[in-house]
Structures are given as C-alpha cells and as structure tokens.
Homo-oligomer: A and B are copies of this chain.
Amino acid sequence: MAQAQTLSRNQQIVLDIIEKAKGPLKAYSILFNVQKKGINAPQQIYRALDKLIEMGKIHKIESKNAFVACRSSDCEISKATAFSICESCEMVDEISDTKLSKYLSGFNHKKGMKFKRFNLEFFGICKKCKKD
C-alpha cells in the first residue's frame, strides 16, 4: 500500500463537500458552500481540486465541468475512468466494470500511440427519469 495520503485543511474541506453531495458539484458552487469556513477565493478551491484529482480522490466530469467523489476504492490514481450521466437529472454514476476497464486499457490505436489514460462518458436517461 502506498503511504497514506494526508489531506491539508482546504483539501479536506473540499473533499467533504464533494463526498456529501448527491451529484457532481461545480467549483463555484463548492466555493459558495465553504465561504463560512473562511475560504474566499476560487484559487483555493481549484488548488484543492487539482490535488484531490491527482490523488484519485475525486474525478472531473469533463462534459459538465463538475466534480464527483471517487467511489471505486481500487481506483488508485484514476487512469481509467468511466461515467454514466443522465441527461435529464444530471445524475452521474461512476462505472466500475472490470471487463470494460480491461478492454479499454488494452485498446491499442492503429497509429501506434500507447495510451496512459482514458476517460469515458456515457449519456442517457436514467431509470428514475424515465418513469416521470
């Protein structure tokens, strides 16, 4: 096991908010939520987000410019991410499917480029929204 990651104050505050959230959070919405804790500037949020991403604690949903907590414990350093995104309610689910992950990690581009990392985003309408 790698050495335990100790989070700094701001990193912990930001991570807490993201973990408590039911869906992806935007940087400025995080900011508004932590102003009572003395964090006043976007930089402070973005710096914490950057570190948390590096550590694999959170992921960025690129199509939404939003951030979610990593739920897959084995996702050490987020080189292989896949998400399921509802286009109606904006819900995001991290997909941890070994087969999928292996398939994509082993995928090789015809043109010979070796991949270090991928990000996959699926879109659709979730069960809950279909009922409504």
Contacts and interface: CB of A to CB of B under 8 A. Distances in A.
Interface of A: 62-63, 84, 86-87, 93, 95, 97, 100, 103-104, 107, 109-127
A119 B63 contact: yes
16 contacts: A63-B119, A93-B109, A97-B110, A100-B107, A104-B120, A107-B122, A111-B126, A111-B127, A113-B122, A113-B124, A114-B125, A116-B123, A117-B123, A118-B122, A118-B123, A119-B120
Contacts of A107: 100, 122
Given A62-B63, A103-B103, A120-B120, A127 B115 contact: no
A109 B121 contact: no
Nearest to A112: B127
Contacts of A113: 84, 86, 93, 122, 124-127
Nearest to A87: B116
A62 to B, nearest CB: 4
Contacts of A125: 113-114, 116
